[in-house]
A and B are shown apart, each in its own frame.
Chain A
Amino acid sequence: NAGVTQTPKFQVLKTGQSMTLQCAQDMNHEYMSWYRQDPGMGLRLIHYSVGAGITDQGEVPNGYNVSRSTTEDFPLRLLSAAPSQTSVYFCASSYSSSTSETQYFGPGTRLLVL
């Protein structure tokens, strides 16, 4: 099992550009989520999905879109990048949405918006 994979590892964008951060898992997990990690702050939930075709907003959803067409993939789209979106982005998955399940995190995507 590759676990949770994310691409790219690092990306530089100019303000106003759009891009998609890719996330995939091969563990047949139902629950997937996106977080951002900023210096001096805990991880914050952007969007999550409890299964294919079902997504919902987390704590900081503005400026981001998600979709979940398959169990395996959960891409995160930045519609019009802003410097405030400079961050490290982590995708996570777990077997179910129960908070007693272990979340498995990907290696992260470091995004710099100029």
Chain B
Amino acid sequence: KNQVEQSPQSLIILEGKNCTLQCNYTVSPFSNLRWYKQDTGRGPVSLTIMTFSENTKSNGRYTATLDADTKQSSLHITASQLSDSASYICVVSSGTYKYIFGTGTRLKVLA
């Protein structure tokens, strides 16, 4: 069964600290992996997308990594800001029109 699992479910950090969110997937066939940021009450917004051959992709203070052998991805947030408080969703694409969404990690950044 195609699945995307994210950990932790929730995380609280202090402003300025770094954090890493995890995504493990069992999806076949694999097309690409995305990370989305979803602010409360808003739709998801794409942060990064990685194909099978890409190990790392950055978007400002967000850096995603992908290990296709172990089927793991991580999202590292550097020097967190209050505006980083949101849910972060890992999504794996499989074939045509097929997206498997994780349940997300809820991040809270405190001043």
Contacts and interface: CB of A to CB of B under 8 A. Distances in A.
A44 B89 CA distance: 13
Interface stretch (A14-22, A76-84, A99-107): A99-107
Contacts of B43: 4, 90, 92, 105-108
Contacts, number: 56
Contact of A99 (B44, B93, B101): B93
B4 interface: yes
Nearest to A6: B43
Interface residues of B, number: 24
Contact of B100 (A42, A107, A108): A42
Contacts of B107: none
A14 B39 CA distance: 29
Interface of A: 4, 31, 33, 40-45, 48, 50, 56, 90, 92, 97, 99-100, 102-108
5 contacts: A42-B89, A43-B101, A99-B98, A100-B31, A107-B43
